[in-house]
Chains A and B, each alone.
Chain A
């Protein structure tokens, strides 16, 4: 998305001949501003379906960024993401929901303000991550992958049996989000912007944008910081990392904490976007979809997580809506969700085999091709993935200033 400066090593070398280099520093902010304006103005022009999809995508973006920190940047395979999503969602619904009986189930809820519910959701998910981290920190990638599989099933069991909190098999509805008296619902207050009624979908859209942007910036800055560098050293070689003074166990535990907090926020957003939670929304399949997002987007790249999340979470919805227009999908053919899953499966295989840096790598390659004759071949795809996320050098660095 904003990995325009991914060419750090190549760029410094190419400085003398790359004439458009200085101009880039104007182009990039301009594109970002235009993008921002378009995103902000969208609710005025676009119908509700797209805004709802958009909010769901924002939730997925937050979750995917969190998972990518763990898998892509630290090299810890986790299939437990759905479990942490569930932690966030359930906590939000429990803390902000009202007590009461629905059908046979006797639900309990604290009825506290939704903002507290959201924060608590993030914290509880983080706590769950922290509780699991003694295991996570001691296990290497692949053992962790299978061990985390266990969390999903244990989570499913808890969701199904702890009826008073989770609503059991049927789930329970999620309260609307309220921020300092402003309801992210259809009323209270009624709101019109240039004649367009701003209802739940429009309001949530903005909430989603803000949260996704915050998640993006936090992750990007984290990766550029000392801690982020440590995590990436950890991925490349634990021995090297510990020799460099990185406390391997502690960093692994911490990244697990951060990643599950991301998942918690994403879970809260999921509950808001669907309006209810149910055990089936947090199954193994969800974990796998999140894995698909970051693999397709590009392991280790924050921007890649965003691209992947958009692709994976929007595709089934779009298939569903335009079932008639897409070949092989629709009546007599495949269901929308199935078609999307075939595509994800195939895409995962192709990405790992041919473009390990994912969509982010592809984007970077095209951008580089346009700029220097060396093309994208100078850097190996895998190193491109890491450099695009980590060596994201500010555009006003001295090397460039000297040429102008």
Chain B
């Protein structure tokens, strides 16, 4: 039982990180109709920047600058490419982001090489224990920070003028534009917010129990894709639920690996995808996604 609770807690913390990434993914989709395959390498960019800058700047400043760099990169992608392609088919937009991803990822992998860059989190690699249930301090802090950020986001999404204009433009871009909402600005802001969320997620993702920044972080980041899809690509609440679900499923599968040995070692890594495919089989637009209705 304690093992189960422990795994569940770890799953929630991992899920919180996934939720941050997935939320960015969903915001971008809502604001600019782009499925951003760049997200994985943006995250790696954030992690890499934080790791490299921690030495000269100290961790906290490095984290701030790293998050800013990630947001800036997202903004550049939006301004230079996505903004010029408004109205292009969704598939073309997705393919463009794959192009960006290839370039960014190649550059980062070349820089990282075969090293594992260490990020010196001030909270260290220690773990926090409540009775028999343990969780790494990094993950605990991640859960709290992610919770606060997500709550802030939902409040902003609901009440701030940015949130209102974003929901309006997602609902009906043309009408929103006629009402004086500047779609370009909404989309740019969405990319920046997504960049910030990815940067924060990166900061926690490379802490214990993950060894550090290596190209493998990219594959971890990709597991947030199923989270977004599973919740429904256009549902912010879905991203949160999807993230948590994926996190818990992965953590449990990894924890009970010995019982699941017939499925092969390292099955936990693919569980997010298995869950996603299972859900899509039943609900093609995710758990909370808008069902596509076509009127003829």
Chain A positions within 8 Å of B, measured between CB atoms, are 71, 75, 77, 134-135, 138-143, 145-147, 149-151, 153-154, 156-158, 160-162, 238-239, 243, 284, 288, 291-292, 295, 334-335, 338, 341-342, 344-349, 352-353, 356
**Minimum Cβ distance to chain A for residue B161 (Å):** 29
- Tell me which residues across on chain B come within 8 A of A295, comparing CB atoms: 95, 99
Q: Give the complex CA separation of A238 and B229 in angstroms.
A: 22
Residue of B96, B226, B280 with most partner-chain A CB within 10 A = B280
List chain A residues, Cβ under 8 A from B294: 238-239
What chain A residues lie within 8 Å of B274 (beta carbons)? 150, 154
* Contact status B296-A71, CB under 8 Å: no
The interface residues of chain A, by DSSP majority, are classed as helix
A-B complex: 5 closest residue pairs judged by Cβ atoms: A161-B264, A150-B273, A348-B99, A345-B102, A345-B103
Question: Would you list 15 pairs from A and B whose C-beta atoms are within 8 A, ordered by A residue?
Answer: A142-B233, A145-B94, A147-B276, A154-B270, A154-B273, A157-B266, A158-B264, A161-B264, A161-B266, A338-B110, A341-B103, A342-B106, A345-B101, A348-B95, A349-B81
Chain B interface size, under 10 / 10 to 19 / 20 to 34 / 35 or more = 35 or more
Q: Judging by beta carbons under 8 Å apart, are A146 and B35 in contact?
A: yes
Chain B residues whose C-beta falls within 8 Å of the C-beta of A344 in the assembled complex: 99, 102
Looking across the interface, which residue of chain A has its beta carbon closest to that of B90?
A142
Q: Is the CB of A341 within 8 A of B106?
A: yes
Tell me the complex Cα distance, A291–B85, Å.
Answer: 19
Q: Check A157–B270 contact: CB distance below 8 A.
A: yes
Report yes or no: B264 in contact with A288, Cβ–Cβ below 8 A.
Answer: no
Report how far A278 CA is from B92 CA in the complex, Å: 31
Q: A residues within 8 A CB of B265?
A: 161
Report the bound CA distance from A341 to B286 in whole Å. Answer: 33
Check if B172 is an interface residue, CB within 8 A of chain A. no
Question: Which B residues lie within 8 Å of A291 (CB)?
Answer: 95, 98
Q: Does B88 contact A (CB under 8 A)?
A: yes
> Does B225 sit at the interface, judged by CB under 8 A?
yes
Residue from B91, B272, B277, B285 within 8 A of A141 (CB atoms): B91
Contact of B99 with A162 in the complex, beta carbons under 8 Å: no
Q: How far is the CB of A169 from chain B (nearest CB, A)?
A: 10
Looking at A138, A141, A348, A349, which has the most chain B CB atoms within 10 Å of its CB? Answer: A349
Contact A135 B110 (CB under 8 A): no
Closest-CB distance, B15 to chain A (whole angstroms): 18
Q: A77-B95, A135-B284, A243-B296 are known; give 9 further A-B pairs, CB within 8 A.
A: A138-B284, A142-B91, A146-B225, A146-B226, A150-B226, A150-B272, A161-B266, A352-B92, A356-B92
